[in-house]
Structure 1
Amino acid sequence: MSQIPKIPRRIVTGIKNGRSVITDDAIATNVSEHFPGLIISDIWATSQMPADLSTEIIVENTAFPVVPANGSYFRYVSIPPDKDLGIKPLEAGQVHPLMHKTATLDYIIILSGEIYMILDEEETLLKAGDIVIQRGTNHAWSNRSDTHCIQLAVLLAAN
């Protein structure tokens, strides 16, 4: 089994007596392991745009996010190798078992490792530093390497 990365530290800023301050500095507590080794931490969400800077929404940590209408979602994901999830290489015509679709515009940054983004008709290998603009498409993530892939995603409610 590959090494599981650490849980992210979350630092939140705010205003106190008219001055900028750190209001929270701790290891993220909203962390789950929906599949063995698949670490998801939903760091922050908003329920409207423009965002209300004085409000924190408690995010229910789910495998497939539900973004509030007119809101946003900030997610840290550490995806283990497929073999650690029990996912075997796909044969022609097979659908990846984690294929899903969300009604969101997603900005995804690969921080470390590598991963295949699988779509209905094609796939591409993503490496650290790559950025994906996902526009409500059916997709899955397939980690065919021996180490975790860490990605950050900002999901925005979309029509």
Structure 2
Amino acid sequence: MASQHASPVPGLPPCKRYVATHDSNGKSIYAESPDQHYHNSSPSAAIALARSFSVAAIPADLAHDADVKAYRAESGITSYTQQEIVVPSASGANLLVIDLKPGASSAMHRTVSIDFSICVIGEIDHELDGGEKVRLRPGDHIVQRGTMHRWSNPSTTLPARFVACTLPCIPFDVAGEKLKEVHLPQPREGKAEL
């Protein structure tokens, strides 16, 4: 019923996911849900990402559990097995769980999306390509609007987790260029792509 799969980042509790739906009589129930499927989950990985749920379009098609069936499928753009930060259909939504080992840092990157990211465990630094940085503590959140950014866990001893909902945006002009997805190379060893 609920995901019990532990994060590959040591020290973090399993992230439980419950998907509420209806039975044939219209009564509310919890749907069967696959374990969290973490990407970048090797023992040496600094960051692990799991797609906690996804829908192909907004407004979402919930009739006949179409969204739940697509998410539980082994493949497809909204499958729990996929690792894209933004749903490739350019009109859907992703709910992601991102775990960071102590000292972990993502590459500087941007996506063609608006993201709502909330720190839930530990502390996480959010840094912009202009050098500005804020530290997030549990409950603090970022509204990420297609900007270049990096996520870092400033602790050298404790892991951290944030949850993000990503929604595609219409590409817009940024300094004379249309917004596009970019992932810069990570210069330091031990860092991870996100």
TM range (shorter): 0.7 to 0.9
* CA distance in structure 1 between the partners assigned to 2:36 and 2:14 by the alignment: 9
TM-superposed deviation, 1:39? 2.2
Q: Deviations over 1:108-141 (max 9, x none)?
A: 1101111111101111111111011110111111
- RMSD (CA atoms): 2.1
* CA distance in structure 2 between the partners assigned to 1:3 and 1:99 by the alignment: 24
- Change in Cα spacing, 1:140 to 1:7, as seen in structure 2 (3 Å) is same
Q: Work out whether 1:18 is the aligned partner of 2:26.
A: yes
Where do residues 8-157 of structure 1 align in structure 2 (5 Å cutoff)? 8-16=15-23, 17-24=25-32, 28-34=35-41, 36-53=45-62, 54=65, 55-56=67-68, 57=71, 58-62=79-83, 65-67=85-87, 68-82=89-103, 85=104, 98-121=107-130, 122-145=132-155, 146-157=157-168
Q: Deviations over 1:62-120 (max 9, x none)?
A: 2x5132311000001111122xx5x6xxxxxxxxx611111111111101111111101
Percent identity, aligned pairs only, is 27
SS of the residue 1:70 aligns to: coil
* CA distance in structure 2 between the partners assigned to 1:45 and 1:153 by the alignment: 12
> What is the TM-score normalised by the length of structure 2?
0.67
Q: Work out whether 1:158 is the aligned partner of 2:169.
A: yes
> What is the TM-score normalised by the length of structure 1?
0.80
The structure in which a higher percent of residues are strand is: 1
Aligned residues: 144
* CA distance in structure 1 between the partners assigned to 2:112 and 2:161 by the alignment: 22
- Change in Cα spacing, 1:118 to 1:112, as seen in structure 2 (3 Å) is same
TM-superposed deviation, 1:33? 2.8
